[in-house]
Chains A and B, each alone.
Chain A
């Protein structure tokens, strides 16, 4: 077995959630060879597979909706910070992608032949298609995997953790990676590279996404010279499952129940409370994610939380038949966990769910680094300061297709030409190092998650953000001396070490942007600057200058 594997392709796609799979399919449809890599199993590990229900799309059936209405809701949810061109792309191309998924057999729920559409908070009408029961993500992933597998021009490679993007003359010419399964190093020379690495929710102790969402794509883009945007806006999903302990279910699983049955959100004293924070709940699911998160955290801080520090969610007013109709087989999975919704409320609390910020791109999904594109949650800008429910899968499919097409167009003009020299330093760095026995990277990773949760969570203050920045920088400074060397099969400590480096850098991005923004807007809430300030109606971009992070204001693209 050789120590290093070198591959070559027209288009390299990094990450195989919905965005990455769609990008690969589209690039192959345009006649290019594709390598699709994932740090885990292909099509299993991203956020797409975790989606429980809603996919927002303005299907113009019967004239009942129009992408302009979807766009208006998306821009309103984004609190003035959306990149309108990218948001428009999401809304206008959404219907074509949803119909293509339908033709591929995804199985959107239907009633009398028409798509069933759920009403989700922030939308002006029922707009969200879904696959029952709580099966949207698995169905979307499975459908895209089936398409991928039919296309011989796409080579799929799992267990590749990309560690650096390769540059030649300022252009991205591929990527270097650790092959986790064998411990060997690898490199892929490509004419165009698409980052579809998802978000950063694993930075937080309480999160709803897979362990792969470490923000590594943001760190890779930053190192390669791309800009990030809106990094201060982390969406907390207000009603993540908190207690009793529930296994075999994603913590965001209460969302579909609320879409269908409403449910009542109550504080620790059994009182409704959302109305105290300027919104309504009243057993209907209309309160937006940022407001509900704010309300729950405030109730807990005032000593009115549920026993585990959240709120109660009650469906006790619903009959067994209603619950069964809404949840189907999920009711049995709840019973296996000892939960009977007709008899007991559950505890819920805000949980890191999605990242509005990300890699700054134009409407072709191109970054400012030639040859480098981004897609899906890795992209920043479409959702501004707060994402509308249901836009994540839609953007994964739409941005994935567009990024795949753009990457294919570049690859049609130029061949992959980077020799092994472009990657040699990365491979050498991976093979260097010596683990320090007193440094436990898994423990450090948990410590990082705790500090992010406490000081860079839904509520922020200058003191907390400065403390977080100090701790993140101290952690990053400690890493080089504790670097494990690559070479062993499935070395989890090395993977943790690589993730820690990315997470410390990306955590610094979130904290630095949050510290700079002296107001409260959408998902970014400052204790010391309550309320939205019209003077802050601009985006913030981040880039590296001589290794140091720079935060700058930038006008919202018209």
Chain B
């Protein structure tokens, strides 16, 4: 029943050359892309930056990323066999890896 997804992640911080990383992630049918990203952090590389709060409920709306070129919530997109390309939102300022600045401008600390 279980499968293996290959997550191709775009990583890096502002001012760095973006790099691509590939991770093989085991999954059970029904598991989410966020499950896969959390697996990478706990099992392989905790420095991977991702953003989420509610984990599974799709209420916090914080885990929005690009999956295979489309904007999606990582918590509701499902893992599947083969390659999946995960990138930060292109229209928001990059903070690190898959995390972009999504807070309303008047709720930021400022510089």
In the complex with contacts A158-B108, A489-B13, A492-B46, A247-B60 CB distance below 8 A: no
Interface size of B by CB at 8 A reads 45
B25 cross-chain contacts in A, Cβ below 8 A? none
B103 contacts A41, CB within 8 Å?
Answer: yes
Q: At the interface, is chain B mostly helix, strand, loop or mixed?
A: loop
| A488 CB-CB contact with B under 8 Å | yes
* Cα–Cα distance between A289 and B27 once the two chains are bound (Å): 32
Q: Mark A430-460, 1 if CB is under 8 A from B, else 0.
A: 0000000000111101100000000000000
Question: Which of B14, B57, B96, B103 contacts A250 (CB under 8 A)?
Answer: B57
**Contact of A247 with B76 in the complex, beta carbons under 8 Å:** yes
Query: Are the C-beta atoms of B101 and A181 separated by less than 8 Å?
Result: yes
Query: Is there a chain A Cβ closer than 8 Å to B10's Cβ?
Result: no
Which residue of chain B has the shortest Cβ distance to A435 in the bound complex?
B47
Which residues between 73 and 111 of chain B lie within 8 Å of chain A, taking CB atoms? Answer: 73, 75-76, 78, 95-97, 99, 101-103, 106-111
* CB<8 Å pairs between A and B, sample of 22: A5-B109, A40-B53, A40-B62, A41-B62, A42-B103, A45-B60, A45-B62, A49-B59, A156-B106, A184-B109, A246-B56, A247-B75, A247-B76, A249-B56, A249-B57, A250-B57, A440-B46, A442-B46, A488-B96, A492-B41, A492-B50, A493-B47
Residues of B within 8 A of A (CB): 13-14, 28-32, 38, 41-43, 46-62, 73, 75-76, 78, 95-97, 99, 101-103, 106-111
Query: Is A362 in the interface zone, CB < 8 Å from B?
Result: no
> With A49-B60, A244-B30, A247-B78 known to touch, is A489 a contact of B14 (CB < 8 Å)?
yes
Q: Using CB atoms, name the residue of chain B closest to A493.
A: B46
Asked whether A492 lies within 8 Å of B48 as measured between CB atoms, the reply is yes
B7 to chain A minimum Cβ distance, whole angstroms, is 16
A positions within 8 Å CB-CB of B = 1-2, 5, 40-42, 44-45, 49-50, 137-138, 156-160, 179, 181-182, 184, 186, 210-212, 244-251, 337-338, 440-443, 445-446, 488-493, 496
Main DSSP-derived SS at the A contact region: loop
Contacts of A49 in B (CB 8 A): 54, 59-60
